[in-house]
Structure 1
Amino acid sequence: MTASQSAGITRVLRSRGPMAVLCAVLMAGLLLVSGCAHLPQSGPVGTSDPLPGAESQMNYSFTPAGPAQDASPEEIIRGFLNAGTGIQDDYATAREFLTEDAATSWNPEARTLVYHEAPTVVPSAEDSQYEVQMEVDSVVDERGIMNRMPANTSEAVGFELTQVDGQWRIAQAPGGSMLETAQFRALFASHELYFYDQSYTYAVPDLRWFLNRSGTAADIVGALMDGPSPYLDGAVKTAFQSGSELSRPSVPVSGGLAKVDLTSQAVESADPLTRQRMQQQLELTLDGLNSVSGVEMSVDLNPLDLGEVPESFDPATINPGVGSTQVAVADGELVYFEGDATVPVGGLQTELEGTPVDPAMSLDGTMFAFLNEDRTRMITAGTDGSQQPEVEGEELTRPSFDSSGWIWTVDHANGTRIMALEATDQGEASREISAEWLGDRTVSALRISRDGTRAAIVAGEGDSAHLYLAGVIRDSEGVPRGLGSPVRLEPTVPVNDVNWLSDQELLVAATSSDSSVEAQTIGLDGSLVTHRPLLGMTGFSTGPGDNPVYAETAEAVHTLAGSTWRSQAGALAQDLAFPG
C-alpha cells in the first residue's frame, strides 16, 4: 500500500470520528501484512460501515480468490485457508475448494484456529493426503469461547484431496476455519455475556468472540442461553432455564430496540422476578452492541408482559467499586492509606508479636486479616474489638476477602490447601476448599474477584509459575465449596503476584526487592499492556474505578501515570491493599 493510499483512507475516516481513525491505522497495518503472505494474496481487502448488531468498530470485507485452474494440491490447500476470510454467503468461496460432498458437510464455524506464522503444508506418506502444521495462538469454539495457547504451541491438521474433472479438490477437511492473527482481529470482536453471582447482586462478565456480521446479536443471545463458559460452571447463575432458545434464528434491531423472540418453553415457568432478571441479563449483554439501546422480549412474536417490578428485584452491579481507602503497614502497625496519607486503624484487639504483613480489608472496611512475619498464622479482627478464629500453616498467602465475607488463604504445611474462613463466624474453624486440579503446585498468590465468583491464582512448580482463573463454587447458602476447572491466562512477563484491576482485567508481576520489575495488565480478552520497569518493586495494589495503580519499593510508594511510575512525597507504607 502506498503512502497516498494510506493517507486517503485516513482522510475519509477522520471525518467519522477518532474511533474511525484508529480503525484506519489498523486497516493500513492489515494491508501491509497482506504483502507478507499472511492475508489473501489474490483478492482485495475492503472496509464497510459497522453492520447492525456489530460493536463500534469498522468491519472488514475480504474477497479471496477461488481455486486457480490446474492448481497443485498445496496451492489448493493454501487457497482454502486464505478463503476462510471470506465469510460472505456462508463461506461460498472456501467451499469452491472442496468436493461437492465435502462442501455440504464442512462446518466453518465448528471452531476458529488462530495462528502466528504462515502454515507449512507437508505431504503425508499416503498419496493425496497432506498435513498443515502451524504455531497456534488461540482456539475459539462454536460458542465463542477462546482458549489461549501457551507460547510455542503447534498443531497439525490433516487434509485429503482428490481430483474432480481433472482438478484437485479437498475431499476431507477439518471442521472450522484457520485465520492468521491479523485476519482474526479484523473479522472477530470480543463481547461480554453477563451472568449473575449466586445472590443475583453482581453481574459477572463472560468474554466471548463472535464474527462481525449482521447476525451477531443472535449469536450472542444464543450463546447466553447456552450458559456460561466451562470455568464458570457452578460459579454463576442465569435467569434463563435450561432449554431456553430463540424461536427464530435472528434478533432484529430497529430504532435501537433489539427484539428477542423466545419459545414458550423459555418463559413458561418464569415468575415476575425471573422475567425481570431475564430482561436485565439481555440488556447488559446486548449493551455492548452500538446498534442496541434497549431490549424487547416476546414469545412467538407476541410481546412478553413483564408485569410490575417486584420489590425483591435489585439492579445487578457491574464491576463493584471499593472506594479509595487502602489498608497498609506503617511503623509496624496497620493503617488506612489514602492518597499519600496514613491513619492508624483503631479498635483492633489482636495478640501479635512483631509486625503484621500482607493485610487485607473487607469490602465494608470493618474487618481485617493479616499474617505474622514468618507467615505461619493468619489473624483476623474487627474494628469493634472482635476477634475471629485463626488459620495456622506454612507459607500462607496474602488473605483475600470475598463479597460474602469469607477470607481466603493458601496453606503449604501439608501439600497445597486452599483455606477459607467466615469473617462473621465466631465458632467454626477454617474450611478447606476443594481444588484437585492444583495438585502439588505451590501457590504464591490467590485473589478473589470482588463479585465473589472467580479466583485468580498464581501457581507453579519450581521456578515455573502460571496464572489461572477458576470459578468459585458455592452451595445454596453462599458457602464456598470448591474451585472449578480453570483456564490458564498467558501473560508475557514473569509472575508471582496478581491483583484484580477490574472485573475484566488483572495486574501481574514477579515482585523483587533488588531487580527491575515489569508489571503487566492482562485482560480476560487476552489483551496485554506491559508497564515500564520499576527497580525493586516489592508489591502493588489496584482497585476498580478511578483509583491509580500503586507500587511499593523500599524507598517510596509510587503511582502509575500513563506509562511512568511517579514516587509520592507523602507517608511511606508497605503491603498496600484495596478492600477485597
Structure 2
Amino acid sequence: MGADRGKRGRGRPVRATAYVGIGAVLLAGCASMPDSGDMRDVESTPRQDAQVRVFALPPAEDAEPREIVQGFLEALTSDDLNYATARKYLTGDALKNWKPGESTTVLAEAPTPYTQVTGERPQTDEYRYELSGKKVALVDGQHAYTPVGGEYRRTVHLTRVKDTQQWRIDQLPPGVVLGRSDFERNYKSINKYYFTSAAQSGEPGTVADPVYVRSQVDPVTQVVRDLLKGPTSWLNPVARTSFPSGTALRKGTGPLTPDDQNRLVVPLNKKADRVSESRCEEMAAQLLFTLQDYMPTGVDEVELQGSTGAQLCVLGEGQADIIASHGFGKSAEYEYFIDGEHKLVRLPERNTVTTPTAVPGALGEGEKQLRSAAVSRGEDRAAGVSLDGSELYVSPLTADGALGDPALSSAGATAKDRLTTPSWDGRGDLWVADRDPRNPRLLVLADGMGEPLEVRTPGLNGRIEAVRVAADGVRVALILEDEGERALYIGRIERDADADGTTVSIVELRSVTPDLEDVTAMSWAGDSQLVVVGRESGGVQQMRYVRVDGSPAPGAGPSALTGVEEIAASEDESQPLVAHSADGIVRLSPGAQWQTVVKEGTAPVYPG
C-alpha cells in the first residue's frame, strides 16, 4: 500500500518488473528443534531482498512433534505455491479442510509455541501446542488489511499417523499466522481500481481499493484474480466494476506475464463473452490502472480474450485515461498558504521562485483576514475561514472575484470551537466542520455555494478537528478528538437521493493510526496514502506515511522537521511536501532536504 501510481517522489519505492528470483533460500523446517531441552521461540525469517525466493523443507523422517510445529510455521513464511510444503506437515481433517487463503494473522514477532497439553500415557500418540504472540493485523479472505491488537493464543494438535508412525498436525488454527517481518517480506500492497458509482461522485472516476498479495507467488495472476472478484466489502457500497458478475480467468489459464512489448493478454471465461466494446474498454482500463500500480513500467497494453480465445478488445495506456478520470489527474499549478498579513497567496509549484504572490480576487486582497483556506481542484475558486474562525467565504480566483456574504457562520465561543480548514472533493463540493460544542456539525456545500447540508455521522465518537476529502469523493479522512486523544480515521461517503432531497453520510469509520495517541495534522498524499504528523504514547512528534487501510507505507517517512503544525501534500507524489513549522513555511522536494520558503505564513494547502 503507499500503493500509488508511478512518478514516485515521496511514497513507496518503485517495484521491480522482473518476477524471477535471483536465488533461493531453504528453510530448514526441523534443524532448529532439539529432541530434548526447553522449547525455543520460532525465529522470524530475516528480511530478504525482494528478488530472493524462499522455500521450505518437508518434514524430516521421524521428526519429533516440536520439530513438526516448527517446520510448519516456517513453511508458512515460504514462497511455496499453494503452500504445498506446509501441507506435508498435515494429516486428517487439517489436510482436507485447511484454507490458507481464508485469513492471514500478522503478529509482532513470529508465533511462539509452547506445550500446553501432552499425552497422559508414557507412549502418547498425541501432543498439543499453543501458539502465542501479540496481534498486529489481520488480512481477510478478500486480502484486505485491518490493524488489530490483543493477544494471539491458538492451539495446534498433533497425532501419530498409524500407517507411517510419523507425527503430523491434525488440528490447527484457520488461515496463516506469521510474524511482521515475514509478512513484510512475503506480501506487497497494491491498489485495485474500480469506478466510483455515479450516485456518489458525479462523473465517472476511479477509486483505489488496497489489498495485499504474496509478492513472489505468481503476483500478476493474483492481482488480476483479485480485481475480477470485485471491490472489498468496505468499499463496495460506493464503487462499481465493469466486469460482469462471475467473470474469472478462463479455466486452465497459466501464469500471466507481460510480453517483451509490455502487452498482457488476459483470457476470461464466458461471462465476459457478450460485453459491448465500450464496457470491454472499461474492463481493460481497470486492469491497466491496477497493473500499472503494481508494476509502473511493466504493462502498456492489455488485450482481453473471451472463452473461445477470440479477442474482445485491446486498450493502451494513453486510451485508458480517456475512459475515466484517474489518480491525481493534472498536477497542481500552485502551492497555497496564508501569509503574514493573513491573505491567501500562492507559489508556482514547478518553479524555484520563493516569493509568493497574492491570489487574484478578494481572498488575496486582504479584504477579510484569513486563518485557513482551501482551493478547488480546478484552482478557479477558493474558500477561506476568517481569522477568528467564525465565518466561511467562497470566492472566485479571478481579478474581479468578489467576497460576498459568508457562506457559513459558527457561533462557537472561542476560535478553537469554530470552523476547521475546509476541503473540496472531486465533484466540486465543499466540506467543513463546525466545532461548536453546543452544536458540533460536519457540513457540505454543494458546488461550494449551496445551502449547507449537515452530514450524518453514525458511529462517530469525539469532535472533528480536521477534515480532508479524497479526490475520488467517496472517502474522507478525519482527525477526531476524544477524551484528550486525537486519532486519524477514514470514513466512506455515501449519498442517497429521494423526493425529499439528498442525504450525505459518513459510515464505517476505521482508525488508521492505532499506535498514535496524538495526531495533529494530516493530508492525502496519493490514491490510498496519507502523510500524518503525530506522536506515540510518551514519544516525540514524528511524520510518517500511512495507507488508508492502516498499514504502514514502506521505506522511511519524510525527514525530521521541528514543530510541525500543519502539513500539505499533493496526490501527485512528484510534487513537494509543504509544511508550517517552527521555521515558517517550508518545502520538501523529492530527494532534497527541507527548505524555508517564508518565515511568516500558516495553513499550507494544495488544491483539494
TM-score by length of 1: 0.80
1:89 Cα deviation after fit: 5.6
Distance 2:193 2:146 in 1: 19
Q: CA 1:423–1:352 in 2, change beyond 3 Å: closer, same or farther?
A: farther
- Secondary structure of the equivalent of 1:420? strand
Q: CA 1:190–1:480 in 2, change beyond 3 Å: closer, same or farther?
A: farther
- Structure 1, unaligned stretches of length 5 or more? 1-16, 48-56
Q: CA 1:555–1:124 in 2, change beyond 3 Å: closer, same or farther?
A: closer
Distance 1:171 1:508 in 2: 45
Equivalent of residue 503 in structure 1, options 504, 524, 527: 527
- Secondary structure of the equivalent of 1:90? helix
Q: CA 1:259–1:578 in 2, change beyond 3 Å: closer, same or farther?
A: same
1:500 Cα deviation after fit: 1.2
Determine if the alignment matches structure 1 residue 518 to structure 2 residue 511: no
Show the counterpart of 2:453. Answer: 431
- Secondary structure of the equivalent of 2:238? coil
Q: Can you list the C-alpha shifts for 1:497-548, whole angstroms capped at 9, x where unaligned?
A: 211122232111149xxx9743222245521634444333332222224322
Q: CA 1:27–1:497 in 2, change beyond 3 Å: closer, same or farther?
A: farther
Alignment of 1:282-293 (within 5 A): 282-287=287-292, 288-289=294-295, 292-293=299-300
Distance 2:74 2:369 in 1: 62
Distance 2:216 2:174 in 1: 20
1:142 Cα deviation after fit: 2.6
Q: Can you list the C-alpha shifts for 1:125-145, whole angstroms capped at 9, x where unaligned?
A: 696444211122222223221
Distance 1:241 1:453 in 2: 23
Please tell me the residue identity of whatever aligns with 1:489: V
Alignment of 1:158-169 (within 5 A): 158-165=155-162, 166-169=165-168
Q: CA 1:503–1:393 in 2, change beyond 3 Å: closer, same or farther?
A: farther
Q: CA 1:301–1:182 in 2, change beyond 3 Å: closer, same or farther?
A: farther
Alignment of 1:175-186 (within 5 A): 175-186=174-185
Per mean C-alpha deviation after superposition, the further-off stretch among 288-297 and 404-413 is 288-297
Determine if the alignment matches structure 1 residue 538 to structure 2 residue 562: no
1:560 Cα deviation after fit: 2.4
Distance 1:469 1:386 in 2: 33
Distance 1:39 1:164 in 2: 29
Distance 1:254 1:579 in 2: 36
Determine if the alignment matches structure 1 residue 242 to structure 2 residue 245: yes
Q: CA 1:307–1:140 in 2, change beyond 3 Å: closer, same or farther?
A: closer
- Structure 2, unaligned stretches of length 5 or more? 1-13, 33-40, 120-126, 348-352
Show the counterpart of 1:409. Answer: 432
Distance 2:502 2:329 in 1: 20
Distance 1:475 1:547 in 2: 35
Show the counterpart of 1:334. Answer: 343
Distance 1:76 1:312 in 2: 52
Show the counterpart of 1:99. Answer: 91
- Secondary structure of the equivalent of 1:300? coil
Q: Can you list the C-alpha shifts for 1:150-202, whole angstroms capped at 9, x where unaligned?
A: 5xx32222223333234433221122122222322332222221112345643
Equivalent of residue 109 in structure 1, options 78, 96, 101: 101
Determine if the alignment matches structure 1 residue 398 to structure 2 residue 421: yes
Distance 1:195 1:18 in 2: 22
Distance 2:573 2:159 in 1: 59
Q: Is the 8 A contact 1:161 1:168 kept in 2?
A: yes
Show the counterpart of 1:527. Answer: 553
Distance 1:18 1:299 in 2: 30
Show the counterpart of 1:212. Answer: 215
Show the counterpart of 2:257. Answer: 253
- Secondary structure of the equivalent of 1:231? coil
1:271 Cα deviation after fit: 3.4
Per mean C-alpha deviation after superposition, the further-off stretch among 184-193 and 469-478 is 469-478
Q: Can you list the C-alpha shifts for 1:343-370, whole angstroms capped at 9, x where unaligned?
A: 2234338999973212111112222222
Determine if the alignment matches structure 1 residue 467 to structure 2 residue 460: no
1:393 Cα deviation after fit: 5.2
1:96 Cα deviation after fit: 2.5
Q: Is the 8 A contact 2:103 2:174 kept in 1?
A: yes
- Secondary structure of the equivalent of 1:171? strand
RCO comparison, higher one (Cα < 8 Å, 6+): 2
Show the counterpart of 2:575. Answer: 547
TM-score by length of 2: 0.77
Distance 2:48 2:463 in 1: 50
Supply the RMSD in Å over aligned alpha carbons.
4.0
Q: CA 1:335–1:18 in 2, change beyond 3 Å: closer, same or farther?
A: closer
Please tell me the residue identity of whatever aligns with 1:103: L
Distance 2:581 2:137 in 1: 36
Aligned residues: 537
Q: Can you list the C-alpha shifts for 1:207-234, whole angstroms capped at 9, x where unaligned?
A: 2211235543332222212222233223
Please tell me the residue identity of whatever aligns with 1:186: R
Show the counterpart of 1:318. Answer: 327
Q: CA 1:214–1:136 in 2, change beyond 3 Å: closer, same or farther?
A: closer
Q: CA 1:319–1:247 in 2, change beyond 3 Å: closer, same or farther?
A: same
Show the counterpart of 2:57. Answer: 64
Please tell me the residue identity of whatever aligns with 1:108: P
Distance 1:68 1:460 in 2: 58
Determine if the alignment matches structure 1 residue 559 to structure 2 residue 556: no
Q: Is the 8 A contact 2:273 2:307 kept in 1?
A: no
Please tell me the residue identity of whatever aligns with 1:299: G
What percentage of aligned pairs have identical amino acids?
21
- Secondary structure of the equivalent of 2:402? coil
Q: CA 1:123–1:327 in 2, change beyond 3 Å: closer, same or farther?
A: same
Alignment of 1:485-500 (within 5 A): 485-490=508-513, 494-500=518-524
Show the counterpart of 2:301. Answer: 294
Distance 2:105 2:581 in 1: 42
- Secondary structure of the equivalent of 1:274? helix
Distance 1:501 1:299 in 2: 38
Equivalent of residue 234 in structure 2, options 226, 231, 235: 231
1:431 Cα deviation after fit: 1.2
Please tell me the residue identity of whatever aligns with 1:320: G
